[in-house]
Structures are given as C-alpha cells and as structure tokens.
A and B are shown apart, each in its own frame.
Chain A
Amino acid sequence: MFIKSMKIALVAFSVFTTAVSAQAKDLIIGARTDPAIDPHYQWLSTNVAYSLHVFDALIKKDSEAQWQPGLATKWKSVDKLTWEMSLRKDVKFHDGTPFTADDVIFSFNRLSNVPNNPNPYTANVRTIKEIEKIDDHTIRIHQSKSDPLMLGPLSAFFIVSKKVAENATTQDFRSGKAAIGTGPYKFVEYKPGAELALKRNDQYWGDKEPWDNVLFRIIPNDQARVAALLGGDIDVIDFPPPTEVPAIEKNANTLVFKRPSDRIIYLILDVGREDSPYVFAKDGSKIKNALMDKRVRLAMSLGIDRDAIVSKVMEGLAAKANQFVPKGIIGYNSDLPELEYNPEKAKKLLAEAGYPDGFSLTVHCSNNRYVNDAKICEVIGQMLTRIGINMKVETMPKNIFFPKISAYKKVHFSLILIGWGNSGTGTAGPFLTSIFHTPDKKRRMGHANRAHYHNPAYDKMGEDAAAEIDPAVREKKMQDAMAFIVDKMVGIPLHAQFVVIGTRKGLVATPRVDEMTTAMSIREAN
C-alpha cells in the first residue's frame, strides 16, 4: 500500500517537472564551477566565460580566438607605444547609465586593486602604463613596451560601470548590487554552489539573444552532470568525461558537439641541469643528465605512439600535435612534418647517444588537472620502457603537483606532463616568451621555463615576434621561432584535447577554441 501511494506520488512529481521544463526559450546549462561574478576577481577561463554574459570587453574574441570589435569599434597604433581606440556609442549599462571612456579608465584602475585576490587579471594589462581619455568615446592606451599582442588579453579585461562599482567589493558583485554591465544578459540571482540565473538584456548593442532566461546549474561532478543531461533536467553540459561521450552520442535525445581546443598537452624535459633529480643509471647510480643530449630527446619523441594515445586513451577526443600551438592559432607552422613513431629508430638513437641499455627516468604528472592526465602518463611510461628507458610513473593531485614545479622556486622533477592554452592572445606569443625563454623577472619573461633551457638566439626570436606590429611579419616570425624550438625537442608535443559540449536534441552548439561554454554559443536548430 505504502509503495503504491509512493508510485502515484512519483508519477505526480514527474508530470509536474515536465510541465516546468516545457516552457519555451529558457536555457539550462550544467556547469562545473561556481562563478566569481566580479569580473576582476579570480582570472580563470571559467570565470571569463561567465563574465562574457553580463559584461563586455573592448575586444571580443570569436570562437576561433581571433580579435573582433567589442566596446571598441576601431583601433589603430599611433606609434610603437600608443594605441588609439574609438569606443562604441549609444551603449547603456543594465541600469540605464550610458557607457563612456570614464568607465574604461575606472575599470583599468580597479582591475589591479581588488583586495585578497590570489589570481588577479593584471597580467592581461601588464604592458599598459596608462589609459588616457581623449573624449567620451575615444581613448589612448599608453604602453610601457611595444606589445601589439595586448589586444588579445584585452578581451578578458571587462568594463564595469564607474557609477555602481566605485567602492563596490567582490561581495557586492556576488549579491548582484554591482553586477551591472553592458553584456547580452542581465544578472538576476546567484545561489552559491547551486545556480546563477540570468535574463536577456533587451537593450543590448549587438544581436539580441534568443533565450529569455539562462540558468547555470553548478554540477561539479562529471557523472552527475552527464546524468542530468541524459535525464532531461538540463539542456547543455560542458566537459563530459571522455568515457561518457559515447553514451551521450548514442542516446536518442542528446547530441555531442566537439572540436580541438587551444590547449596543447606536452612533455617538458629538464635539459639544463647536469644533475637532474630523477635521471639515474639503470643500476640506480647518479649519472650526468641524459636529457641534455638532443638525440635522447628525439628518441623519446620517436618512442611515443601519438595515434594510440588519441584513439585508446583519449577515446578519439583529441588531435595529434606536432608543435606547441594548434592550427588556427597565429604562429602555427604548417610546414612542420608530423612527429614520427618509430621505436626501432629510437633505440638506435639511444645507442648512438651512449645509452644502448637505456637509463632510469621518472615522469611526473597531475591526476586531476587535464583530461586523462594520469592515464596519458602511464601510457607514456610504457611506451618509453619499450625503447629501453627504465621508466617510473608518478601521478599526484594538482595541489601537490603544481607547487613542486614552480619555475621561480625549484622544479623538483626531470620529466613532466603539462598543458598550455594559447587563446589568451590567439597567438603563439606568450608560449614563445614564457615556456622555454630564459627567465627574466624584470621583463616578465620565461616565468614558466621548467626545462632550464637557455638559448639567447631563441630568446631573441620570441621577443622580436611578440613585439612585431605588422601582423603578417609577426606571423612569419612566430612560425620561424616555432620551427626552431620544435627542432630542439626541449618539449615533446603530444596532442590538443577536444572541447566537448553535450546538448539535448534540437540545439546547436558552437564550441569555442578557448574551452569556454557560453549561452551565446548555443542556438536552437532550425
């Protein structure tokens, strides 16, 4: 009897819930993380994605990470260190106040002065010395050094209203009091750990959004997010785990949209320290760092079967890489050949380098930072064992891993697996001046050089490319630097992981290369 009445109640519930979700023009997105709401607090790509709904930046990045007009309609360089920008007219904040140059200058000053901020957005405007107001809709940007790539990061510099955000704290944004921007959606309500509700901004300057209301439900657990989509509770999810993608594809009510992202997963080798912490002879005695020999590095690249990683470990949700930026990002060099898999040749090269019997090496990886990071690491351990290197694999949570590979303190490992996203500028510029560039604290370069690689010729190539104003020349210079560093094999590129979005049937998603999930990239199928 009890069970029976339960059943009746259950049916009543389900009827009720379907009635609610049948309302048209509402979009429910299942997201992994809580939003910061304050667009100047916690620089994470997930936060930038949330901010894109409520706020605008001077530059807008399209789904390919290329620069488009945002609140700035035109820009030109006056001289090497000065840019002039025309601001969009007739733009209003959600509270009705008109947008002017004062809001830009206010936002610029606020950006680096948010208290208690462990991850400020300052790096996005690091070369900007001052923003000068010419008139209400014209500004001049004065730079401390020539940095034409600044236009890319400007897309993560969101403009807040001077009127409401003056003296506003991060807390005021979370409560909604100061969450007033010019973006395509208005802030409605935020429940921490549960949901963020938005509604369409009918006064938006750009194309009107098709959704009346957008609700982000925060579901950090991968399986729970997939279940919510399959169960029809939500319309869209991002980052389904690769093992669940076939289930979404097979289900008659759901669809999968995917593309390669801007993030290249690669190995960093310690090529600079003669005494590297995890390089030993086979008997365990200390030897001179074998990774300093280019032939050994080449052999390691030859020993890795990238096709197997893509098809077996990544379940097809990745694209092989032969350099450190994916196709579509400026600096991608299409002349570079594929990186070959040839274990026989690898063994020969190792013997030539003086390691016919191999040596001992440990690869260190995180196990909760990149898609399948720990699994990739284990497979690489096995592949390199096959060419004769005595491999050990150690994986650890990211909160242990990253403090141990801090380039500005000490890198505790010899071989590490890591990823690098390239859509900040949409070019290879930051990669070229950060990852294998000689560390230079003052000029803010080489801060992520975990390979201990030092080569003045390469440093100069990267710097020149990043400072070049002419886009065509810049691209050529970046491609040359890319070819140079791939040839040196200081890092071994593996693959670009895919951005995957799952939706209910009847929707079309256009995944962005920068892995951001927005309501703006979801449309109804015609």
Chain B
Amino acid sequence: MTIFIIRRLMQSWIVILSMAMIVFSGVYLIGNPVDILINPEASQQEIEDVIRSLGLDRPLWEQFFHFIANALQGDLGNSYVFGSPAIELIFQRMPATLELATTAMLIGIIVGVPLGILAGLNPTALSSRFVMGSSIFGFSVPTFWIGMMMILCFGVTLNWLPTGGRGETTMLLGIEVSFLTLDGLAHLIMPAFNLALFKLALIIRLTRAGTLEVIHQDYIKFARATGQTNKTILFVHVLKNVLIPVVTVLGLEFGNIVAFSVVTETVFAWPGMGKLIIDSLENLDRPVIVAYLMIIVFMFILINLLVDILYSVLDPRIRLRETR
C-alpha cells in the first residue's frame, strides 16, 4: 500500500506539469494582460516599459522555463493584480472555501443518507415519493437562482439572516473560521445550504438506488434468517454496502465544490477562492490562474487517493495493488 501511494504521488507531478504547460500557453494565446490592466491614459512608451519589466516581451518558451525554474524553488510568481505571491493569495482564501464546502458536504451527508435509505426501504410510501420528488428540484433548479431567492426571502424580506459575507470570525489553530461564533454561523448557514442542495439531491438518489439493490442481496436475506435485528442489518450490512458508490461520488464532488463553488461564493459575497479564479481569468492574471489550477489538480489527485484508500476500508474485497 505504501508503494501504491508513493507511485500515485509521483505520477501526479507529470499531471501537474502538463497542466501548467497547457494553462500557461492558453492564457498566453488570449492576449497580453498589460493591455487589459493598464490605465487607458498610459502612453505607448509606458506600456512597452511595463511589458518589458514584467518579462512579457520574451518568447513563450523562455517565459515558461523561467516560471518552472522559479516554481521548483516554491515561487509560483506574483499576481499582476494584487502584487503578492499567487500561492499566498490562494492559501489566504482557501480556509473560507474549505469551511463552506465541508459544511455543505456535511449537510448533504447528514440529511441525504438517512433520507435516501428511508426512500429505499419503503419505495412506495408517500413520504419516499415526496423526498424523491423534491430531490428533482435540487438537480434542476440553478444554484444561483435559489441563492438569490434565499437572499430575497430570508435576508431582505424577512430580515432573519445576513445577505452575505463571512461575519465574525475566530481563529482555530491559526485558521480563520466562521462556525464558532453565532454571527459567523448566521452568515454560513445560507450559502452552505445553497451549495448543499445539489449534493443533497445527488446523495439521496445514490443512496436510494444503493439501498434498493442491496436489500435484495442474498447476504441480507441470510442475515435476516440468522435472526439479527433490523438495526444491525441496517447499520452494518446495508449501510456499509450502500456507502461504496456514495464515497466515490462524494470524493469527486468535494473536489468540485472546493474548486468551483464560484457561483455560491459570488452570490453570497463569500470571500473564498472560487471568486479569485474568475477575477483572475477576467484580468488574465496568469500567475494566479496557473497556480490555482496546479493546486486544484493536486487536490483532485489527493482526493482520489483518499477515496481509493477508503474503499479498501469499506470493502475488504478491494485491495490496493501496485498496478502494472
């Protein structure tokens, strides 16, 4: 298993490097960031001076090798827009996004799995139909619209919850978090729920399908025949088997939430990193775009690895092997 992990991590570097290359040349193709960033009153001479000072007059391959050489020393370049190191910008905003994503995921799991199992155990009951029916909304109604409606309803009209932002934060192990203060929680609940809606619908459907399948398996019948209680059957035999596909999807979805929760972050003015990547794309802030995507790729690789490891814990039939 250790060899498996080491090998996986080594492969990840190849992926990250090619990612950097693709993004680097892609952004280069769109155009020169100075054309967008510079004040319209700057003269031609001033524009050329700036392009030279940023090294943007060099050929692409030279810029790329310069970038890689710096990257190997841990320097992914400075943002053109903020002037601070790209990597620092991203890590500054990461806790906010992680907090939001984790809360959303927890809401999804805590609410979704029980509902899914219930719907799977009694597929014909009225309550199950209601759960399944409403999960369609979670899938099909766009997140930003629900977000706006939630703000309008709870923030503007009823004035129960703040309309956006992070609220009061406290430090937990050197990281700023919102969920430990009342004000922070009030700010967190709406965006987290908004972000969770889609995942919730997904989890309910996956769990229900899994339950329907597992419940008719021989080992469940056998467990029943041996006289085990409903509780044991449900929590040991059904749940464990249902969770395997759910874990796979959750892993990928968690990555997605962290990397691209931009819609929710924008609507609720949540100072996370999803907003950062959109702004950076708009301004062709190449150092930030490249660094961001490299970090995201690495995160996905890590999550996939964790999912693989979780598999072997949940299902002993699956062994992690060195694949050849």
B117 to chain A, nearest CB (A): 18
CB atoms of A402 and B164 under 8 A apart: no
> Are B269 and A228 closer than 8 Å at their CB atoms?
yes
Does A221 contact B267, Cβ atoms closer than 8 Å?
yes
User: When the two chains form their complex, are residues A447 and B42 in contact, meaning their CB atoms are under 8 A apart?
Assistant: yes
A210 interfacial by beta-carbon distance below 8 Å: no
B140 part of interface (Cβ distance < 8 Å): no
Does A368 sit at the interface, judged by CB under 8 A? yes
B37, B93, B148, B161: which contacts A119 (Cβ < 8 A)? B37
| Contact in complex: A119, B31 (CB < 8 Å) | no
Bound-state CA distance A407–B40 (Å) is: 11
Whether A83 is near chain B, meaning CB under 8 Å from some CB there, is no
**CA of A20 to CA of B183, assembled, Å:** 10
Q: Which parts of A357-406 form the interface with B (CB within 8 Å)?
A: 368, 397-400, 402-404, 406
In the bound assembly, the distance between CA atoms of A11 and B279 in angstroms comes to: 36
The CB with the most chain B CB atoms within 10 A, among A194, A217, A368, A434, is that of: A194
B151 on interface, CB distance cutoff 8 Å: yes
Contact B39–A118 (Cβ < 8 Å): no
Q: Which residues of B contact A41 (CB under 8 A)?
A: 83
A11 partner residues in chain B, CB cutoff 8 A: 160
Q: Which of chain A's residues has its CB closest to B33's CB?
A: A118
Q: Does B249 contact A (CB under 8 A)?
A: no
Q: Which residues of B contact A195 (CB under 8 A)?
A: 165
Cα–Cα, bound, A36→B36 (Å): 17
The reply on A408 being an interface residue by CB < 8 A is yes
Q: A13-B182, A231-B151 are in contact. Are A118 and B37 (CB under 8 A)?
A: yes
Q: How does the 8 Å CB contact mask read for B87-118 relative to A, with 1 for contact and 0 for none?
A: 00100110010000000000000000000000
* Contact assessment for B44 and A227 in the assembled complex, using a CB-CB cutoff below 8 Å: no
Q: Is B180 an interface residue (CB 8 A)?
A: no
Contact A13:B80 (CB < 8 A) given known A126-B43, A221-B269, A441-B44: no
Q: How many A-B residue pairs have CB under 8 A?
A: 191
B182 touches A16 (CB 8 A): yes
B47 interface contact, C-beta 8 A: yes
Other-chain contact of B46, A170, A224, A444, A445 (Cβ < 8 Å): A444
CA distance A407 to B45 in the complex (A): 12
B218 within 8 A of A: no
Are the C-beta atoms of B161 and A447 separated by less than 8 Å?
no
Specify the chain B residue showing the minimal Cβ separation from A435: B40
1/0 contact trace for B159-171 toward A, CB 8 Å? Answer: 1111111100000
- The distance in angstroms between the C-alpha atoms of A225 and B41, with both chains bound, is 29
- Tell me which residues across on chain A come within 8 A of B89, comparing CB atoms: 192
Q: Does A77 contact B (CB under 8 A)?
A: no
B266 touches A220 (CB 8 A): yes
Question: How far apart sit A20 and B37, CA to CA, in the bound complex (Å)?
Answer: 39
- Nearest B-chain residue to A38, judged by Cβ: B83
B284: interface (CB < 8 Å): yes
Q: How many Å lie between the Cα of A293 and that of B290 in the bound state?
A: 47
Besides A13-B183, A193-B275, A445-B43, 5 other CB < 8 A contacts? Answer: A43-B42, A126-B46, A193-B93, A397-B282, A441-B44
The 10 A-B pairs of least Cβ separation, nearest first, read: A403-B31, A444-B43, A193-B271, A194-B271, A170-B83, A231-B163, A13-B186, A219-B269, A231-B155, A403-B35
Interface of A with B (CB < 8 Å)? 10-14, 16-17, 20, 34, 36, 38, 41-44, 114-120, 122-123, 126, 170-171, 174, 191-195, 217-221, 223-225, 227-228, 230-233, 368, 397-400, 402-404, 406-408, 420-421, 424, 430, 434, 439, 441-442, 444-445, 447-448
A–B Cβ pairs within 8 angstroms, 17 of them: A11-B160, A14-B159, A116-B54, A118-B33, A118-B54, A118-B81, A193-B96, A224-B266, A231-B162, A399-B31, A399-B36, A400-B31, A402-B31, A403-B31, A421-B40, A444-B44, A447-B43
